Amino acid sequence: MTGRSVATVRGVVVPLAAGVLVGLDADPTSGLLAAGLLGAAARRSPADRDTVAALPLARVLLPALIVVLALGLVAAAGALGLGSPVGAVALVGAAALALTAEVLGDVVLRRHPTRVLVIGTPEEADELAATLVAVGPSRFRIIGSTGSLLDLEADLARLRPELVVHTDHLHAQSVRGALAHRMRHGGPHVLSRTRFCEHAFGVVPLDAVDEDWLLRLAEPGRRSAGGAASRAMDIAVSGVLLLLVAPFLLLLAPLIAADGEGRILFRQRRVGLHGRPFTIIKLRTMRGTGSDWSGANDPRVTRIGAILRKTHVDELPQLWNVLRGDMALVGPRPEQVAISDRLGDVLPLFPYRHLVRPGITGWARVRAGYAATTEASAVKLGNDLFYLEHRSPVLDVAILVETVRVALFERQYDVDPPAAHIVLGRPAATPPTAEPAPAQRIDGAFSPRTDGAAAQWAA
């Protein structure tokens, strides 16, 4: 079964069956509403599905949340007189059909991954194949490579790929011209290596970022992607959560005061939207100002502070920053002003993460943990740029769901970021020690491409 067949079953056949079930229990109006909502919920793009599939908890819970929301709207419509009331048995049956289709569809796609032909060197194809294995279960499988356009037709006929990925091994314009010519007769989908890394690994290779890539972030559709909807969700969720956690924070106040020094609330200047500084609010967990990077065994952390940091409870006052508009629930983590300036000197792409509001959690937070070195910050930057390119309300909800797993079960200083070498353009160094360290210039600086050549670590 192909990906298109799975999409048809998920988006058409199963919603219609669920609609019939609801319609038989209530009336045709309720049945049509159920079919329409479940069909719309199932029609998430392959790129969205690939992104969520990289999050262990979200890939399980997000489809369930979407189905529950869709059927909740059907039940609400019946209760408001817009249709006949729907019985619990019919709703549960419709949910079971939709969720079964989601699970079985994922199983089928993983057993029959998209066949990928790489136009590039065997070493480039091997690197992508090895990274697919290292990252985990994938919807893609590298089936071969070709280093010559003269062999392209024969390789397409012999290997029958569903996707062609072209690298910079050959002249990019020649490759694109040949593939565009081939499109007249049908054929596989086509992605550049950069776009493939985004789809397959959820990262942006920093050495591939050029002006064209950056200007995509300024396109009207991308600039507003998730803007109003995400801000409305930020206000609603942060307001409700602040009311719920306020009594808990009041109980913590005397414990923090007895164990530390200074005020209970810690305020620090961080870099926000468009590079404008703002004052972030956290529960105090350290002695002193905490003006440098911190690590897992930082001696400045107090006893109660260690618990608050491990459970991320110290971040809860940032809900006020979200309500004020300084931050969002989801976005790149805000960096200290001094550290941000140092990172901007050695990572020229770093300021572009300020194109969106910083978040309490984010794609880089759940995928790459905390950064305590410049190299780790570069890896997180590759994840942040991916978020800027692909952000949406659905992705934000997936990140929020995954944050629960990260906060409860993952040690943020011990995270091994997936595809770090893809981001860096070279093997990542040995994980840093847990001791705090100031920003250091490593091999050089990332620079966006300015002359058509790939960016490099520049001395």
Q: Is 344 helix (H, G, I), strand (E, B) or coil?
A: helix
Model pLDDT, residue 455: 36
When mean pLDDT is compared across 70-74, 288-292, 411-415, 451-455, the lowest value belongs to 451-455
Tens digit of each residue's pLDDT (9 = 90 or more) over 390-407: 988 889 999 999 999 888
315-318 contacts at long range (C-beta below 8 A, 24 or more positions apart):
315/282, 315/360, 316/241, 316/245, 316/248, 316/249, 316/283, 317/249, 317/265, 317/281, 317/282, 317/283, 318/280, 318/281, 318/282, 318/360
Tens digit of each residue's pLDDT (9 = 90 or more) over 15-69: 999 999 999 999 899 999 999 999 988 887 777 788 888 888 998 899 999 999 9
What is the CATH number that goes with domain 114-201? 3.40.50.2300
Tens digit of each residue's pLDDT (9 = 90 or more) over 187-226: 788 899 999 999 999 999 999 998 989 998 888 766 555 5
Amino acid identity for residue 102 in this structure: E
Q: Does the structure show a pLDDT above 80 at 83?
A: no
Whole-prediction pTM: 0.86
DSSP secondary structure letters along 271-305? E-GGG-EEEEEEE--BSS---S---TT-TTB-HHH
Q: Roughly what angle, to the nearest 10 degrees, separates helices 14-25 and 28-42?
A: 150
